[in-house]
Amino acid sequence: ETGVTQTPRHLVMGMTNKKSLKCEQHLGHNAMYWYKQSAKKPLELMFVYNFKEQTENNSVPSRFSPECPNSSHLFLHLHTLQPEDSALYLCASSHLYGGRTGFDEQFFGPGTRLTVL
């Protein structure tokens, strides 16, 4: 496989469930990101991992718990979510986070469409 993959592609869960989203990148990148995309809102950066270390947590509620066991894998553990958490969750990776500004695009996965009932 190539690029950035995400599983599952669709997820429906109740508010009391615990589930995990998985992201894997095959690009040799060092930085990985979780974004939340809700309708009619800009993409919201949730977490950033750089060389497996969390470098950004943009005031995300504790019901979202990230895990980065290595530079290629990123998880988002979900528990006791709310209906307003329903959104498309996008994972991305890039070569480096915190490096010189320049052509360092982020490569995105296809996203997980999450519905919280």
Partner 1 sequence: AQKITQTQPGMFVQEKEAVTLDCTYDTSDPSYGLFWYKQPSSGEMIFLIYQGSYDQQNATEGRYSLNFQKARKSANLVISASQLGDSAMYFCAMREGTGNQFYFGTGTSLTVIP
Per CB under 8 A, residues contacting partner 1 are 33, 40-43, 45, 48, 56, 88, 90, 92, 97-111, 113
Using the 8-state DSSP alphabet, how is residue 73 labeled? E
Coil, strand or helix: which one is 29?
coil
Question: 21 vs 48, which CB is nearer to partner 1?
Answer: 48
As measured in angstroms, the least distance from the Cβ of 12 to partner 1 is 16
| 3-state helix/strand/coil string of 74-91 | EEEEEECCCHHHCEEEEE
Question: 31 vs 78, which CB is nearer to partner 1?
Answer: 31
What DSSP element (H or E) covers 26?
A: none
As measured in angstroms, the least distance from the Cβ of 96 to partner 1 is 9
